């Protein structure tokens, strides 16, 4: 799996969690590094919380799978 595919999968999983949790979910926003304007060659997510906290998750690919190019 490529880092782009995993980034998409992880963002979708967090969005699905938010939808299930409803209005009490602590996540306010989920952006990719690109969407957030972070200048980096890495892929990753910026997760913003309703209490003002922000977590950046950087994705680093150590080895591609057999089917990835």
Is the CA virtual torsion 15, 53, 4, 67 positive or negative? negative
pLDDT at site 24: 85
What is the average pLDDT across 17-33? 92
Collapsing DSSP states into helix, strand and coil, what is residue 26? coil
Burial class (CB in 10 A: 0-12, 13-18, 19+), 33: buried
The model's pTM is 0.85
Confidence band of 69 (pLDDT split at 50, 70, 90): low
SS3 content of the chain, % helix, strand, coil (to 5): 40, 30, 35
Confidence band of 62 (pLDDT split at 50, 70, 90): confident
């Amino acid at each position: 799996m490529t880092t782009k595919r995993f980034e998409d999968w992880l963002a979708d999983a967090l969005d699905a969690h938010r939808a299930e949790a409803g209005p009490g979910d602590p996540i306010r926003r989920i952006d990719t590094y690109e969407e957030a304007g972070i200048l980096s060659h890495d892929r990753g997510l910026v997760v913003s919380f309703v209490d003002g906290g922000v977590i950046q998750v950087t994705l680093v690919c150590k080895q591609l799978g057999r089917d990835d190019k």
